[in-house]
Structures are given as C-alpha cells and as structure tokens.
Amino acid sequence: MLILDLTLKAKKFIESLPPKHQRQIKNAILALQETPIPHDAKKLLGYENYTRIDTGEHRIIYQFKPKNKSITVLLVEKRNDDAIYRVAKRYLK
C-alpha cells in the first residue's frame, strides 16, 4: 500500500470545509492509495511530476513517487478558481 502525506496547507483547507466536502476529498485521497493515477487524472502542464484530480467542486494536486511508494497531496482548492494555479506556481518551484 502507498504512503499518503498531506502538506499543512492541504490539511488546513480540508479542515475548513463543511463535513460533506471533507468526506468527498478524503475519499478521493484515500482512493489514490489503490489507484495512484485514476483515469480522470491529468498531469499539470509545466510540472510533469505533479498530477491533478477533481472531486466535486474541488481540485487536488498531488505528486506520486513510485520508487518511494508514496503520494504527497500538495494543494486542495476550489475547481473554478484559477488561484490554485497561482498558488501552485509559487509552491511547486
């Protein structure tokens, strides 16, 4: 089984959501342990080591490291907000 790790920023965002949304995001993140690159996952343009998935109204940006057998969830933000990419650009450098 893969090791899951969440950044502090991702944890805080998830904790700030209503319980229904928290459940959706947690289920999506836990599902990554079984299927680290689901069929609807897309690589981030310009950041080939990072992948994104959508769940409900939110987008999850993560990094899958097959050699370490780990997944690091970097960011979780609202899907319709381009701010996630501005944050990701600063965060992923």
CATH number, position 48: 3.30.2310.20
Identify the domain containing residue 43 by its residue range. 3-91
- Bridge partners (DSSP) of residue 6 are 73
State which residues of the chain have pLDDT below 70.
81, 83, 93
d(CA 32, CA 4): 9
pLDDT of residue 81: 66
Rounded to two decimals, the pTM is: 0.88
pLDDT value at residue 44: 86
Q: What integer pLDDT is reported at residue 93 of this predicted model?
A: 63
Domain count, the chain: 1
85: helix, strand or coil:
helix
Q: Quick one: pLDDT at residue 6? A: 96
